[in-house]
Every structure is written in C-alpha cells, then in structure tokens.
Amino acid sequence: MPLKHGARQVQQWDIFELVLEGPDIVNPFTEIYLKGRFTCNGRIIEQEGFYDGNGTYIIRIMPDIQGNWTYRIFSSSAQMDGITGSFTCIKPSGMNHGPVRVRDTYHFVYEDGTAFYPFGTTCYAWTHQGNELEEQTLTTLSASPFNKIRMCVFPKHYDYNNNEPEIYPFERNAGEGWDFERFNPEFFRHLELRLKNLMELGIEADLILFHPYDRWGFSVMGSEADERYLKYIVTRLSAFRNVWWSLANEYDLMNKSVKDWERYAEIIMQHDPYCHLRSIHNCIHFYDHTRPWITHCSIQRVDIYKTTELVNEWRERYRKPVIVDECAYEGNISHGWGNISDEELVRRFWEGMLRGGYVTHGETYLDPKEILWWSKGGRLHGSSPPRIAFLKKIIEEGPKKGLTYMPLEWDSVCGGIPNEYYIFYFGFFRPSFRIFHMPEGIQFKVDVIDTWDMTINELPGTYKGDFRVELPGKSYIAVRMRKVS
C-alpha cells in the first residue's frame, strides 16, 4: 500500500503526518511532485511533501481548527496520486497553546489567546554536539526561565567551535564536496527530534536558516542550492507550532544581496501556510525592519554603550515588536560582546522590558573543554538566569498585554499602563529616596523591588498624588505601583 501511516486523530496545532511509499527513482529530492490538499469547514491547507529517505515520502500539516479534516494527495507519481482520507482534529491540551503571533503591534500572544513574553536564550550550535551534551542542554533548559532559544540549522565554525558535527545536512558527492541536490534525511530527523524536545518544554525555536560562520561551504552554496534548501526545510518544519524563522544571523556579513534576502523571504512565505514569525538579524547594519514580511525586529546592539536603552526608539521607528536578541553576553571571553557582568546583563533585561521590548540571554564563560553555553549548550554557570526568572515572574503577574514605555523621569526608566500600573527602574543609580508625582485621584499599592537580591518589599497602606518613597540607596532597585481597584 502506498499509504504507510496516517493518524486518525490529532490535537489542534499538533502535527498530522502522512507517510507514503513512493517510487525508486534517480533523485527523489528533485524529481517528484507531491502535494496534499486538506480541508475542514471551509479551511484549506495545501502543503507540499518531502522525501525522507529509503523510499519514504512525507506530507505534514499543523491542523489549526477542530473538526473532521479530509485530504487528497496530488503527485507526479501514479503510486501516490489520488490517495484520499480523513482524520479528526481535537481540542489541544497541556502546554499546547498553538503558534506565537504578534499582538497589539508590539507584543506577542499564543494562538489560543494566552500571553507570551519572550525570555530567550542563545545556543547556536547545540544540536550539533552529540547526544550526551544535547541531553544535558535540554535538562538545563527544563530548569531555566527561558521560553525561546536561538539556534542554527547549520553547524558553526568560530572561536570555541572547532569540533566536527556527527552528521551533515547534505550527502557527499563523488569528490570531496557536497551534493546540494541531495539532503541527508538523518540530519533533519535529528533536528526534528530536538524541536519536539523543545516543544515538550514549552520552548519556541528561533531557527536561524543562514549564518556566516562556516568552513563547510553551507554559507556559499549558491542561489539555486539556497532556494532548494529553504523549500525543503520550510516544507519539513512548518508544521511544528514552536518554530520561528530567522532568515539569517548577522546577514550583513554574508555575500548575499538585499534582493537575495527578499527572494528567500518570499520562498519561506510560499511554503509556510501557517505564517510563523519571521525576522532577520544584523551585525553592524540593521535590515529594513519595515519590510512587510518581517513580523518583529531581531536586533543586535550596534553601540558599545547604548543597547536596550534604544528599544523604545526602535519600536517607534519600525512599529513592530522589538527583541534585542544580542545585547552582549554574561561571560569572560576576550570579545567585548561576550564579557559583560551578570549585573549588567540583568540591567539590560530590565531596561529593555520597561521600554516595551524583550531581551535575549547568552552566556560565554571560558571552559577548559570549550563548552560555552552560547553555542554548544551544556550547563549554565552564570548568576543572571535566576534574576531573569525573577523578572519574568513580575512581568507575567503584570498587565497581560505587555508594557508600554512612559518617559516620566529623566534618570529612571518606566514601563506600564498609564493610570493603572507602573514600574520605575533606577539601574545603576542608587537614590535613598524618591518623590513621585502620580495622577491625582488614583490610589496605588507600592512595592520596592531589589532586582538583584530578588526581594519585594510591599509598603503599608496606599499612596496617591505626590508622595515620598524611602529607598535602600543601592543600585538595581525598582518601584512598582499598582492601582487599587
């Protein structure tokens, strides 16, 4: 039978997969046309299939409405053409909230309406390190505050990244190079395993499709191979609800034109019927984040001193959510982007969040085995993650639609909702008291928050109008005000 496997029931936003037996031909990656048409109550998803090796072809979809779905297969192979069937899409359960979307211009939400606040981390090459280290990375992530991870499809060649991966994305050709017309299904099955592991932990995979740190030739395959790769990987992975597409990390270090990037973005959209989040990340020069295909700004700081301090300006310039995915990393390596203190990374998190954006973590402590979290994963050694977890809890307990920057004072940053909710953050300043001038006629509960020691001191009574709050005279203090109902 051509149909080897197809589930009868699947949760909304989970993966429905048809596994088909196809013909034995010279190159099944390029010579077979395969597409499925799936319908339910007026919803139509058309999704191409892909070759998975050993005579097996797969079509995957992410059913996004509940009910009875029917399908028909179209193929240039008579063996697979005309197959029909049905399955039932049922209510989601557990941590399945659907894919993440943009909400209210500057923030994020799961498809089911649950708020999503990106608290990400960075492990560029963690899926290329072998089972033992990869499992350790997953264990570390399971105990961390992080709900998004920046990770590369291709292996990485850079400082502290000199090891060879166990498997590669393409087959070898007759010489010493790669056959860019033949993918290695084992490589992509392994990547899918790790995406499923992340999904089970409730972690979004911000998947970097291209990057310049390369000694294998994957950054210079040529436009035909680039396009074939994009079509293949987006077709394979778009049914994963936790995937985001990062078109490139440090796109401006690669030998590709803006015209190339725009064409590649079109390919992603053509082969992703679910419109997963899309971005492109800079080194020195920002991409034009106003481009309609870009859903949010993925930014690396371009100033030594101003990093997350510019979030509110970027929000207004691009009118999209801002994630400072590289504000520099907690660590002690020689590079300036990888040796800021734990206190400074936490300060940048608070600064960026209160300016209405989001910030991503990374860690680069020297290790005798060259296992640095920012690339290989493993264990976390720094002291910023628990402080980031503390901030995450405060944000989750705050306004569900996220914070808006309010420029109320010259020497503090304030985020919240006017007349309802305020957090003032003093960063490295250390006042021993502050006189606030709040809207008349509104009563507030006031908390003094030590963002480093992770304590919250709820002050007795309520406050309104002009009032004085005593402070400990140390750095990294915040004051939270919540309107009394």
Tens digits of residue pLDDT in 107-164: 999 999 999 999 999 999 999 999 999 999 999 999 999 999 999 999 999 999 999 9
Residue 288's alpha-carbon distances to 177, 296, 320, in angstroms, are: 35, 11, 12
Residues 20 and 65 in one domain: yes
Residues 119 and 158 in one domain: yes
Residues 261 and 210 in one domain: yes
Q: What is the average pLDDT score of the chain?
A: 97
Q: Report the candidate in 49, 89, 98 with the shortest Cα–Cα distance to residue 70.
A: 89
Instruction: Provide φ and ψ at 384, rounded to 5°.
Output: -75, -35
Residues 157 and 258 in one domain: yes
**Residue that terminates a domain, selected from 397, 422, 454:** 397
Q: Can you give the CATH number for the domain in which 424 is found?
A: 2.60.40.3950
Residues 181 and 209 in one domain: yes
Structural tokens at position 94: 């557990």
Residues 202 and 236 in one domain: yes
Contact 233, 89 (CB under 8 A): no
- Identify whether 19 is part of a domain: yes
- Identify whether 239 is part of a domain: yes
d(CA 462, CA 459): 8
Confidence check: pLDDT of 11 > 80? yes
Confidence check: pLDDT of 363 > 50? yes
Confidence check: pLDDT of 168 > 90? yes
Residues 415 and 388 in one domain: no
Residues 148 and 223 in one domain: yes
Q: How many domains does the chain have?
A: 3
Residues 261 and 282 in one domain: yes
d(CA 341, CA 329): 8
Name which of 5-14, 51-60, 300-309, 404-413 the model is least confident about. 5-14
Confidence check: pLDDT of 318 > 80? yes
- Identify whether 276 is part of a domain: yes
Enclosing domain of residue 454: 406-483
**Residue that terminates a domain, selected from 378, 397, 416:** 397
pLDDT level of residue 1 (50, 70, 90 thresholds): very low
Q: Can you give the CATH number for the domain in which 158 is found?
A: 3.20.20.80
Residues 41 and 128 in one domain: no
**Residue that terminates a domain, selected from 90, 119, 141:** 90
Contact 192, 185 (CB under 8 A): no
- Identify whether 95 is part of a domain: no
CA 144 to chain CA centroid, nearest Å: 15
pTM over 0.85: yes
Residues 390 and 418 in one domain: no
Residues 233 and 372 in one domain: yes
